[in-house]
Amino acid sequence: MLMSVMAHAELTIEITQGVDKPTPIAVVPFAWGGSFALKEDVAQIVSDDLGRTGLFSMMKRNNMLSFPSQQNQVFYRDWRVGGTEFLVIGRQQAIENGQLRVEFELYDVLKQQRILVERVTGNNNNLRDVAHYIADKVYEKLTGIRGAFSTRIVYVTAQQFGNGNVKYQLQMADADGARPITIREQSQPIMSPAWSRDGTKLAYVSFESGKPAIYIQYLSTGKREKLQSFRGLNGAPAWSPDGNRLALTLSKDGNPEIYVLDLQSRQLNRITHHYGIDTEPSWTPDGQSLIFTSDRGGQPQIYRIRLASRDIERITYEGNYNASAKLTPDGRFLALVHRGGDNQFHIAVRDMKTGRLDVLTDTLLDESPTIAPNGSIILYATQKGTRGVLGGVTLDGRVRFLLPAPAGDVREPAWSSYLQ
């Protein structure tokens, strides 16, 4: 999907907390009788995807009594003995022009019913995509929520070398941290990456010229475009839902304010007018309002401004610090960085309907929340020992995980929308 890129060490997801009673499921190795070796174990990737959610207990292969690949080979008693409630089987077949056909089936063991059967086509080079697609379908069938295993994440890594030298990299990877590639590498900081809704572009802040400037990266061609750089702060780009505008934080008029840039006409509109610091804009799903952080009330809190009327309302009141807010795709929940009575920064979620605020994490120095496109998981930056790592938590706080990298700090995550 990208220009020339550099491989980078993968993030590794470590579940730190799961649900009390995960659903037992088995994913049997998919049958393959072809004349060449497959580059990926599709069934293992599906099992890993489902297992990393913390919602499922995956049966190990050495505990399986049989390895069915067809419906007439499924003997429910074999799976009930091991306590399995759901079963995934599959088969892979070479077809014309180097293509592969992968068929998979999902069974309810307790009801003794086949509840899902589907066929997908791929090739030996994109079997990981095929596996993520299958995991998405199984996850949706069992939970009623669309899966997000086929999406992507971006993040920034910083690795220190001798004499104070630091290498910054903008990385992109599968949602599970696999297949990372380097989009940008430099010796100056990179900050605030943000996906366009269609997944074809990134906006981010780079200090490569010695001062902050906002760039747009076109992922299919590798082309970079530098937006007009103003005096002072140029930061926090956020794509509108239609992809035609960027919300920005600029201090060109002397104070950090929120602006909206029309990417076609290049018309820049100032949205906020206040002596306080207004920053970190994000869009509501309908594109009619912006959520932002402001200290206009004396402490950083979350506000919403309606673009048509410029009416402003304060959203958060609990705690002495609330910032970096993002809405779930349905607009129901607001993920944010919250500091309360323990004077520590945690990830919290606010129910926009009831006003309830729940703190989801107990790690330290949590920041930069980003939300999966199905609204199920918040990914964020945190600390593990002295290193920056990524953490994840479900919106109900029941499942938590970490994504440490082998070396360096990992910060500034951003989760893509569903890729077309």
| Domain residue spans of the chain | 15-143, 152-415
User: So what's the pLDDT on residue 403?
Assistant: 86
The rounded distance, in Å, linking the Cα atoms of 67 and 162 is 53
Amino acid type, 318: E
Q: Per-residue confidence at 1, pLDDT binned at 50, 70, 90? A: very low
For the stretch 64-94, pLDDT in tens is: 999 999 999 999 999 999 999 999 999 999 9
The rounded distance, in Å, linking the Cα atoms of 242 and 288 is 11
> In what order do the strands lie in the sheet containing 181-186?
6-7, 181-186, 166-174, 152-160, 409-415
User: So what's the pLDDT on residue 407?
Assistant: 74
Residue 218 in tokens:
């076109």
Residue 64 in tokens:
């399986």
User: So what's the pLDDT on residue 109?
Assistant: 98
Please name the fold of domain 15-143: Rossmann fold (3.40.50)
φ, ψ (nearest 5 deg) of residue 82:
-85, 5
The rounded distance, in Å, linking the Cα atoms of 231 and 229 is 7
pTM of the model: 0.93
Mean pLDDT of the chain: 93
For the stretch 339-390, pLDDT in tens is: 998 889 999 999 999 999 999 999 889 999 999 999 999 999 999 888 899 9
Residues 23-46, mean pLDDT to the nearest whole number? 96
The rounded distance, in Å, linking the Cα atoms of 288 and 309 is 10
Q: Per-residue confidence at 3, pLDDT binned at 50, 70, 90? A: very low
**Is residue 202 helix, strand or coil?**
strand
User: So what's the pLDDT on residue 420?
Assistant: 65
In this model, does residue 2 exceed pLDDT 50?
A: no
User: So what's the pLDDT on residue 363?
Assistant: 87
More confident residue, 419 or 22: 22
For the stretch 161-206, pLDDT in tens is: 877 789 999 999 999 999 999 999 999 999 999 999 999 999 999 9
Please name the fold of domain 152-415: Neuraminidase (2.120.10)
